[in-house]
Chains A and B, each alone.
Chain A
Amino acid sequence: MSNIGSYEKRLENFEWSIAEKELDYKPGDHINIGWYLSDRNCLMGKSDKLALIWEGLGGAEKSYTFNDIRIYSNTIASFLKNLGIKNEERVCLFMDKIPELYIGFVGILKLGAVAQPLFSAFGDESLFVRLDNAKTSAIITQRKHVSKVRKILDQLPNLKHIIIVDYDGKNPLREREIAFDMEQAEQVEHFESFPTKAESHSLLHYTSGTTGQPKGVKHVHYSLISQYLTTKWVLDLQDDDIYWCTADPGWVTGTSYGIIGPWSLGVTQCVMDIGFSADAWYKFIEKRKITMWYSAPTAIRSLMKAGNEIIKNYDLSSLRHLASVGEPLNAEAVIWSEKVFGKAFLDTYWQTETGSIMLTNFPGMKIKPGSMGKPFPGITAAILDPKTYTPYTETGKIGLIGFKPGWPAMMRTYWNNEETYKKKFENGWYLPGDRASIDNEGYFWFIGRDDDIINTGGHLVSPFEVESALLEYEAVAESAVVAKPDDVNMEVVKAFVTLKPGFTPSKDLELNIMNFIRKKLSPLAMPQEIEYVESLPKTRSGKIMRRVLHAKEWGEEIGDISTLEND
């Protein structure tokens, strides 16, 4: 029996207070996510239960009980406090998927500070923009990533502490750097979690925008209510589950459902911090007896590419429930997973700003492969007319997805950018920026983005950010960046560039530009193809018409080009 039972029955008289009661929270009480993920589990009798099983490079393995999580997070919180970090200050986590990332997240929240996780593959420019915007006080990182912090340190006066969790003493520490070994530090048995309230700031995740710099999405401690209940009803986590969320906590799935969800339910989770290979993934499932697997379409399609034969080498019978997030899961992948694993991956739809699952296929519900499913109880969703922002009453019409604001995990604002935040609402609806339709049984069907944002492997990349970075390369005069179709990643970045006089198109130049963007921004943002052009399509006012290039890449109609400038 699944946790949700009957979806229809859950819709009747649904109240978020269901989660509040289960978490023993009453409106007005203190609520600290860090405490819920650690101390509360111990108070519930789970001290000795495994919370985290971790595997890293070279066969490294570690495991931590909930009591370990409690003590180590106390130790981290205490260390930060002794450095002078106070509640509401931003502390960045810039690490691979190592235990310190997961436990550090808990420690920061217990201190009442704001966790700011950033993807460790970010280049120095991407890192700088986000640390500068957040006025981050401290960054917790590893030796292998500290060189990126050093490059930008002079421009970050607010960044007072660079905490290195694996310092080996081989090279001297530099300005503002301090070593901290979570397991070797004097352990702190008692740490009083900061008395945060429902609306206290907990988390700052950055997401890309069509124009302008990345936006810091502000979440609060009350988000726990949504994250707990969606984990329970959609991911269906039960007490004896062994859970594997493949997402990196540098992105929202990795925090909402890679830390907060499973640990708020006191469930054991596994983390594998090595690169992708089908063999390694199947071996991990077999060895750890994973029961619930939350992954992404890109990974699922990569596994499909690896073929079905390889699956026969592994015993994957422990799997009982599969779900997917990041980009629309194509029908073929759903059908394939049902065939090879005996279970279909259930697609879930949400985003950084929503903080928790909004539309989804529920356990036990009839699956329509390729569909986004139905709204989570308590979520009012509609397809809106793009001109009037009123809900369509007919089924099958394509429009904008809209959500009625008010669910617990919804973002509270964009950090220092209230103006952009307000633009996310029209006629009382929150607009996530995607287009879809609803069928006659109430299932939502994804159509596409309503803007130029590129979704590559489930990660959003801003064309503006890449175009700006391209202009910093000495040979590039102008640039335009669009999505290009890709079998595995759904979309990848493609750049069109014009060169400055004196520079000649060549394959080597293309590679140099690719590597420049990879190091400056991130591997995700690196154009997988660069096309040299004589000129870019522009409006008469000089604005680059990305949609013309996008249409060309996707073989679509170009549409109205009456504003296109004449050459």
Chain B
Amino acid sequence: MENMKEVILEYVIDEYCDDESSDISFDTPLISGGLVDSFSMVSLKRFLENKYNISIPDDQATPEAFDTVTKIELLVKKFL
């Protein structure tokens, strides 16, 4: 399997970052850092569900669980 964190990070940069010079790492705060807003989080959740063929319950798709790529990976792995 591809490195999950790399895949998620690449998707986040491609889809949510307008600023070409953004320096985003696995631990950059995405939601609390304002890079991904709560509405856009829905599309990120959908991407993860499609990519990994999982279903993330809404009550676990919290801003805290989606706040960094590292945390997202942990969340996804719970449902694999």
Contacts and interface: CB of A to CB of B under 8 A. Distances in A.
A276 B18 contact: no
B43 A518 contact: yes
Contacts, number: 78
A360 to B, nearest CB: 27
Contacts of A277: 31-32, 63-64, 67
A275 B42 CA distance: 15
A276 B38 contact: yes
> Interface on chain B toward A: helix, strand, loop, or mixed SS?
loop
Interface stretch (A19-27, A82-90, A334-342, A520-528): A520-528
A495 interface: no
A524 B39 contact: yes
A121 B37 contact: yes
Interface string A160-171: 000000001011
A443 B1 CA distance: 61
Interface in A106-150: 121, 143-145, 147-148
Contact of A276 (B21, B31, B47): B31
A274 B42 CA distance: 19
Interface size class of A (residues with CB under 8 A): 20 to 34
Nearest to A168: B21
Given A148-B18, A523-B39, A57 B46 contact: no
B33 A57 contact: yes
A96, A148, A518 — most chain B CB neighbours (10 Å): A518
Interface stretch (A398-406, A445-453, A503-511, A548-556): A503-511
Contacts of A526: 39-40, 42-43
B20 interface: yes
Interface of A: 57, 96, 121, 143-145, 147-148, 168, 170-171, 273-277, 279-280, 302, 305, 456-457, 492, 507-508, 510-511, 514-515, 518, 523-524, 526, 528
28 contacts: A57-B34, A143-B21, A145-B18, A170-B21, A273-B34, A275-B30, A275-B31, A275-B36, A275-B37, A275-B38, A276-B32, A276-B38, A277-B32, A277-B64, A277-B67, A279-B32, A457-B38, A507-B50, A511-B46, A511-B50, A514-B42, A514-B43, A514-B46, A523-B39, A523-B40, A526-B40, A526-B43, A528-B42
